[in-house]
Amino acid sequence: MMGVALTIAGSDSGGGAGIQADLKTFQELGVFGTSALTAVTAQNTLGVHGVWPLGPEAIRAQMDAVFADFDVAAAKTGMLFSGEIIGEVAAGLAAAGNPVLVVDPVMIAKGGAHLLREEAIAAMRDKILPVATVITPNIPEAEVLAGMAIRSAQDMEEAGRRLIAMGAQSVVVKGGHMEEEKRACDLFMDGRGERIWLSAERIRTKDTHGTGCTFSAALTAFLAAGEPLEKAVGGAKRFIHAAISDGLGLGGGHGPTNHWAYHRAGNALKGEVLIDS
Ligand SMILES: Nc1ncnc2c1ncn2[C@@H]1O[C@H](COP(=O)(O)OP(=O)(O)O)[C@@H](O)[C@H]1O
Ligand SMILES: Cc1ncc(COP(=O)(O)O)c(N)n1
């Protein structure tokens, strides 16, 4: 039977991040995508022009409707915005028996707009992190959640250890923001001591809008399709690397990535992305 994936995230009218990136990625990877919208943003490649969160009741009703009728093989969270929304999402996940969950702890958009309120950080730590199968922070998000500065590979490891100690089953600390590094290196770690470095050439491009959403959606899709976590993280890295490499040149600011590229690139990607455990 076809795998079903659920994204619990915000809408990006510009189509490169949020729910739109997630559903496009699910479709590309052959899983059936469902969604629970948490907020509407008026957004394009130039920035976030407005944010309207949905009421917790509306978010919960979407989750309950999906869980009641579909066998959700994996879910992900993206923009959760407030402590109130996080509480409701955590309750909705618990009511569904806490499915396999990818947590992309979205905090700040590339242009600086806050997609998570400061007051919600504690709720993210206390209510969402402990039910995460895997959490996928970028460097600034890992710094906030782990409470430390990250400047090196050793710091990435220490932050990963701290997030696992806080209750996440596993973590991918994404190194996209380490711009002085020649390669974009992400570190996967789990509670049993597994370490996998995922590394690819750093592409010189400003079109990186939605890279985090797309990476976590690809990870969710591979899990929904039944891949083990260690393989799913490698697949997600290949998917995002292809999407960044084959840019579309859309919009006047930080453009979206190319969600079709993974299929077009096929086996050529195997040599480009290095996976070291
Ligand atoms: N310029 C780039 N070239 C290649 N890979 C990149 C680049 N920027 C980000 N990535 C990769 O894209 C994914 C998302 O990364 P990151 O930028 O760290 O997160 P976010 O989009 O959440 O801020 C990671 O796998 C990262 O290594
Ligand atoms: C609705 C929404 N959700 C998330 C992001 C973050 O995007 P990125 O993947 O670039 O960190 C965004 N810009 N908009």
The answer to whether the CB of 13 falls within 8 A of the CB of 36 is: no
Structural domain containing residue 199: 4-276
pTM of the model: 0.97
* Burial class of residue 71 (count of CB atoms within 10 Å of its CB; 0-12, 13-18, 19+): exposed
What whole-number distance in Å separates Cα of residue 65 and Cα of residue 69? 7
Centre of ligand 1 to C-alpha 208, Å, is 7
Q: What is the pLDDT of residues 176-222, one digit of tens each?
A: 999 888 999 999 999 999 999 999 999 999 999 999 999 999 999 99
Total domains, the chain? 1
Whether ligand 2 lies within 6 angstroms of the CB of 209 is answered as: yes
Centre of ligand 1 to C-alpha 98, Å, is 28
What whole-number distance in Å separates Cα of residue 169 and Cα of residue 98? 13
DSSP conformational letter for 209 = B
Which of 207, 215, 129 shows the shortest CA–CA distance to 175? 215
For the question of residue 185 being annotated catalytic, the response is no
C-alpha distance from residue 114 to each of 58, 157, 235, 263 (Å): 22, 26, 29, 33
Ligand 1: residue whose CA is nearest its atom 17: 176
Whether ligand 2 lies within 6 angstroms of the CB of 109 is answered as: yes
* Catalytic residue from among 211, 214, 220, 257: 211
Centre of ligand 2 to C-alpha 21, Å, is 9
What whole-number distance in Å separates Cα of residue 60 and Cα of residue 36? 8
Centre of ligand 2 to C-alpha 17, Å, is 5
| Chain CA centroid to CA 59, Å | 19
Centre of ligand 2 to C-alpha 192, Å, is 31
> What is the per-residue pLDDT for 110?
84
Ligand 1: residue whose CA is nearest its atom 20: 212
Instruction: Among 24, 51, 115, name the best residue to mutate to test ligand 2's pocket (greatest count of ligand atoms within 8 A of Cβ).
Output: 115
C-alpha distance from residue 138 to each of 29, 67, 110, 186 (Å): 23, 29, 12, 9
Question: Closest ligand 1 atom to the C-alpha of 210?
Answer: 21
Which of 229, 226, 216 shows the shortest CA–CA distance to 3? 226
What whole-number distance in Å separates Cα of residue 189 and Cα of residue 265? 28
Whether ligand 2 lies within 6 angstroms of the CB of 79 is answered as: yes
For the question of residue 210 being annotated catalytic, the response is yes
Ligand 1: residue whose CA is nearest its atom 26: 176
Which of 227, 155, 233, 224 shows the shortest CA–CA distance to 194? 233
Burial string for 154-180 (b: 16+ CB within 10 Å, else e) reads: ebbebbbebbbebbbbbbbbbbbebee
C-alpha distance from residue 233 to each of 41, 55, 57 (Å): 28, 33, 33
- Geometric angle at alpha carbon 7, from 102 and 18, rounded to 5°: 100
Which of 116, 115, 127 shows the shortest CA–CA distance to 88? 127
* Catalytic residue from among 25, 77, 208, 214: 208
Centre of ligand 1 to C-alpha 175, Å, is 7
* CATH assignment at residue 205: 3.40.1190.20
Instruction: Among 85, 213, 215, 220, name the best residue to mutate to test ligand 2's pocket (greatest count of ligand atoms within 8 A of Cβ).
Output: 213
Q: What is the pLDDT along the chain (277 residues), one digit of tens a residue?
A: 789 999 999 999 999 999 999 999 999 999 999 999 999 999 999 999 999 999 999 999 999 999 999 999 999 999 999 999 999 999 999 999 999 999 999 999 988 899 999 999 999 999 999 999 999 999 999 999 999 999 999 999 999 999 999 999 999 999 999 988 899 999 999 999 999 999 999 999 999 999 999 999 999 999 999 999 999 999 999 999 999 999 999 999 999 999 999 988 765 666 688 888 7
- The contacts found for 266-272 with CB under 8 angstroms, 24 or more apart, are 269/238, 269/241, 269/242, 270/238, 272/200, 272/201, 272/238, 272/241, 272/245
Radius of gyration of the chain (CA): 17
User: Which phi and psi (to 5°) does residue 186 adopt?
Assistant: -115, 145
What whole-number distance in Å separates Cα of residue 198 and Cα of residue 175? 10
